[in-house]
Amino acid sequence: MIEIKKLVKQADNKLILKGIDLSIKQGETVAILGPNGAGKSTLLKVMATLIKPTSGSVTINGFDLKKDHFKVKKLFGYLPHSSLLYDQYTPLENLVFFGDLYGVKDVELRARELVKEVGLSFFINEPVKNFSRGMIQRIAIARAIIHDPKILLLDEPHTGLDQGAISILNNVILSMKEKGCTTLMVTHDFKQAAEICDRIIIVKNGRVAEDFKVRNNQLDFVSKKYQLQVEGVS
Ligand SMILES: Nc1ncnc2c1ncn2[C@@H]1O[C@H](COP(=O)(O)OP(=O)(O)OP(=O)(O)O)[C@@H](O)[C@H]1O
Ligand SMILES: [Mg+2]
């Protein structure tokens, strides 16, 4: 479904991505692990069409990310480090605004459902600027899925969430997976990666260093592979 070929990204004379090759099937839930500065967020940004690659290609269901930009863009739901929300707006206003951008039908109903799903109905009419970090992250998750994307690109989605919100997020990812949605999740949280993902990719120094499947919550297996690959511990 997603084919990434020889993807290179250079910025300010620095090679950030040094030739990434990846093939991801529909419905896969993939965790992208790796040390700070490895190029994980850059990879997600290229896929979300926020930045252009220097060379190489990304195709989604046969459509080229560069050439068929408008066709593929709406397939993505992107949750970056920052929330992208408008501070002075309420959760409802934010979600209706973003839903409208994607042409979501019955957008207000959908927005209300999502606010409920992320457990913030009580705050539906409160400006986002009064929210805690975890509350903002909950609404940011709702924003990323308002248009029912086919591919979720999540950059450290568990950051700042309490246990309840972690369960909500994991349930969102798993129920999207049941609908055939593909997820790429950058994370430093091995526990969440092992719990909800079926494949782990380790990015190191702009390259894919490891790519393996996981089953049944193999946290130890993931940690060992990471230590071996990134920290050189055997
Ligand atoms: N626009 C840019 N111009 C120059 N260098 C950049 C740019 N964007 C990112 N970089 C550099 O590319 C490298 C990879 O950055 P990236 O944000 O992709 O890392 P990451 O793997 O997501 O790290 P973290 O785990 O800290 O979030 C870093 O060294 C960063 O400084
Ligand atoms: Mg990052």
Rounded to the nearest angstrom, the distance between the alpha carbon of 40 and the centre of ligand 2 is 6
The reported pLDDT for the residue numbered 201 is: 97
pLDDT of 119 over the 80 cut: yes
| Structure token pair of residue 7 | 């993807």
* 190, 33 Cβ separation under 8 angstroms: yes
pLDDT tens per residue across span 73-100: 889 999 998 888 999 999 999 999 999 9
Taking the CA of residue 222 as centre, how many other CA atoms within 13 Å lie in the half-sphere pointing to its CB? Answer: 28
Asked if the model's pLDDT at residue 153 lies above 90, the reply is: yes
Q: Is the CB of 10 under 6 A from ligand 1?
A: no
Q: Which residue's CA is the closest to the ligand 1 atom numbered 30?
A: 37
Cβ burial of 182 (10 Å; 0-12, 13-18, 19+) is buried
Residue with tokens 């592979």: 225
What is the C-alpha to C-alpha distance for residues 81 and 172, in angstroms, rounded to an integer?
18
Under 8 Å between Cβ of 60 and 151:
yes
Average pLDDT across the chain, whole number: 93
Q: What mean pLDDT do residues 145-172 have?
A: 93
Q: What is the pLDDT of residue 82?
A: 86
pLDDT the model gives residue 87: 94
| Alpha carbon separation from 168 to 25, 36, 141, 146 (Å, rounded) | 25, 26, 10, 15
Q: Which residue has the higher pLDDT, 215 or 126?
A: 126
Q: How large is the average pLDDT for residues 95-119?
A: 96
For the chain, how big is the Rg over CA atoms in Å? 18
DSSP state of 84: -
**What domains lie within the chain, and their CATH numbers?**
25-55+72-231 (3.40.50.300)
Q: What is the pLDDT of residues 171-201, one digit of tens each?
A: 999 999 999 999 999 999 999 999 999 999 9
Q: Whose CA is nearest to atom 18 of ligand 1?
A: 39
Least confident of 16-20, 99-103, 158-162, 203-207: 158-162
User: Is residue 123 predicted with pLDDT exceeding 80?
Assistant: yes
Mean pLDDT score, 111-125: 95
Q: Which residue has the tokens 């252009």?
A: 52
Instruction: Give the pLDDT score at 234.
Output: 61
- What is the rounded CA–CA span in Å between residue 181 and residue 194? 18
Nearest CA among 74, 91, 71 for reference residue 83: 91
Structure tokens at 128: 């986002």
Ligand 1 pocket, mutate which of 42, 79, 154, 205 (most atoms under 8 A from CB): 42
Atom of ligand 1 nearest to the CA of 16: 12
- Please tell me the distance between residue 233's alpha carbon and the centre of ligand 2 in angstroms: 23
* 17 alpha carbon – ligand 1 mean position (Å): 10
The CB of 152 under 6 Å from ligand 1? The reply is no
pLDDT of residue 67: 87
